A and B are shown apart, each in its own frame.
Chain A
């Protein structure tokens, strides 16, 4: 997992999976990298092979964390299965999905 950070935006790259196996670790690592000035958390999910409910929990937790500092979470280029899980759980309405 990698981070690219500017003054207002932080980009998370290289997540391969987001499941109960790594959900907590991803949440903690990303939180540590977020600075007070960051208004957007962009998570590149183009390489994510699997996203389960624990992974969803991580995404929601990060969403709430960003909301506290008037920011937002954007899911970038999700794979079909990620998009399917997000839509099944209606979270595509909560988490902004962007494609580049």
Chain B
């Protein structure tokens, strides 16, 4: 608190008349410094001198005894001046009404003079010391009174400012203390979280710590579900609080305190004495006079709502307590988000691992070795744009006749896991249908029958091409279900490249599709290319970052047919063409099969 500092002066000197001259002069100088005129200060000088005279006069000492010093103390007050003269003499009786001695008497006037010069005087006589008290009222001149009033007003203003500063300092101190407490708690719990990683029990302990800091008697912390319409109870201070989730934007709940806070995205404060809560509001269970609800938002996302009810306090929460609440809530929300993201990362890692396994399984379903068919080489490749593919190819050899080969290529609409599942089913069905090995159209119809319901149920379809090759009799039977055409040519440069695509709708589109079967002769030095649309729809630097397209593919095939003697050589050449894609990642799966006759 501000304390007024008033002028005062103290001086001490030996119990001797000569030694008193300078100190008394200093006292007078002090008074004159505070606006005393010569008349006033002169009267004081006489009165003090008389007091000192008496002290020295009544000093009776034994032999070898040193006299105690005399002290003068002066206090200047707005309305009066008080002077104390302290001595350690035997003292004397202070006359209540001193009278003057006869005119001819040379002494005995000191006390009389003192009492005439001051308004009030007294002499307190003690065992070892005495005190002469002199008091004289001050009457300030009018101009000085005006000045005094101005200074008093100014002093009052300064005192008010000091009081305001005091309050601000107290408030700041309280805020700092609260911040310290909250930070301390957060650090403590943050360390625990790092050790234990149990976010739920961490939240319970953190929020219980909030209760004493806020002087509260209850809290309820709810988190939003994925679509944000329902908030679920995550932590509560007491079992008396209803743990049911709150659908904040439905029915009566729209008027509840937590709902209001979510809608306006700001704190809601309520003095329940002045404004009652809506019937059924879960926060009624706080039984608190003051309730504060804080929506927790990170970025634009509503994470949850923290509600706190005050205890017996008659005062609403202070700004410092509110700040603590916000800090705790934000910190907790960040931990929740971190944990959720960590869980998502773990889940993503699991999925990635599963996809890798699926990719390995799918790769194992594709032919990797090419048993030699006398006089022919076969190659194939499936480049996937994702971990798993909807493209599929297979090369199936006749169980008993090594000159008979079934070439199968298919493209399931879409990519990723769903497409790969259908590709795997497709493969199994083909492999299990050996009775239709030599009749690709029939095989295609069977595949459609088997898969139609599943494919149409999820609005998916499969394009496919199956080519049965009897290489001893040099015939090929082809069935096509909406797939890219089969390209056929010969090493003989005079033979044109022919494109074969018998009529047929993709599998899964109609229940009983019309599927043609085309039989063609296999020329000497034959070269066959079967491919998916990912091949021709890729952009490649080899052709100025344009789509490769079927024409350019045919052109490449034409150039390669006389140069490359084996399927593996064709494969390397084609992959070189495809590798020059302008983008790092494939937009679509790329699959092809090559059948090349030696020589």
Q: A residues touching B (Cβ–Cβ < 8 Å)?
A: 19-21, 49-54, 56-58, 60-61, 64, 79-81, 84-85, 88-91, 93-94
Contacts and interface: CB of A to CB of B under 8 A. Distances in A.
Nearest to A93: B103
B18 A53 contact: no
B112 A52 contact: no
Contacts of A60: 103-106
A27 B72 CA distance: 29
B403 to A, nearest CB: 149
Given A50-B46, A53-B107, A90-B103, A21 B113 contact: no
B100 A84 contact: no
Given A49-B45, A56-B109, 16 more contacts: A20-B17, A20-B49, A21-B18, A49-B42, A51-B46, A53-B109, A53-B110, A53-B113, A60-B104, A61-B106, A79-B42, A84-B42, A85-B46, A88-B116, A89-B109, A90-B100
Contacts of A49: 42, 45
Interface in B1-48: 17-18, 20-21, 38-39, 42-43, 45-46
Interface residues on B, range: 20 to 34
A88 B112 CA distance: 9
Contact of A50 (B18, B45, B100, B112): B45
B56 interface: yes
Nearest to B56: A20
B260 interface: no
Contacts of B573: none
B42 A53 contact: no
Given A21-B18, A88-B113, A88-B116, A57 B42 contact: no
A85 B42 CA distance: 10
B526 interface: no
A94 B107 contact: no
Contact of A52 (B38, B105, B110): B110
B322 interface: no
B104 A52 contact: no
30 contacts: A19-B49, A19-B53, A20-B17, A20-B56, A49-B45, A50-B45, A51-B46, A52-B49, A52-B53, A52-B110, A53-B107, A53-B108, A53-B110, A57-B107, A57-B109, A58-B106, A60-B103, A61-B106, A79-B42, A80-B42, A84-B42, A84-B43, A85-B46, A85-B113, A88-B112, A88-B116, A89-B112, A89-B113, A90-B100, A90-B103
Contacts of B113: 52-53, 85, 88-89
Contacts of B442: none
Nearest to A52: B49
Contacts of A64: 104
Main secondary structure of the interface of B (DSSP, over half): helix
Contacts of A51: 46
Contact of A21 (B20, B43, B105): B20
Contacts, number: 73
A84 B40 CA distance: 11
Nearest to A62: B106
B107 A88 contact: no
B426 to A, nearest CB: 129
B50 interface: yes
B244 to A, nearest CB: 95
Contact of B103 (A53, A54, A91): A91
A35 B116 CA distance: 37
Nearest to B115: A88
A26 to B, nearest CB: 13
Contacts of B17: 19-21
B117 interface: yes
Contacts of B42: 49-50, 79-81, 84
Contacts of A81: 38-39, 42-43, 45-46
A80 B104 contact: no
Contacts of B106: 56-58, 60-61
A45 B57 CA distance: 26
Contacts of A79: 42
Nearest to A24: B17
Q: Which has the most chain A C-beta neighbours within 10 Å: B17, B49, B106, B112? A: B106
B45 to A, nearest CB: 5
Given A57-B107, A89-B113, A21 B21 contact: yes
Interface string B487-508: 0000000000000000000000
Interface in B87-128: 100, 103-110, 112-113, 116-117
B233 to A, nearest CB: 90
A20 B117 CA distance: 18
Q: Which has the most chain B C-beta neighbours within 10 Å: A58, A60, A79, A94? A: A60
Given A80-B39, A94-B103, A50 B49 contact: yes
Contacts of B38: 80-81
Interface string B41-68: 0110110011001001000000000000
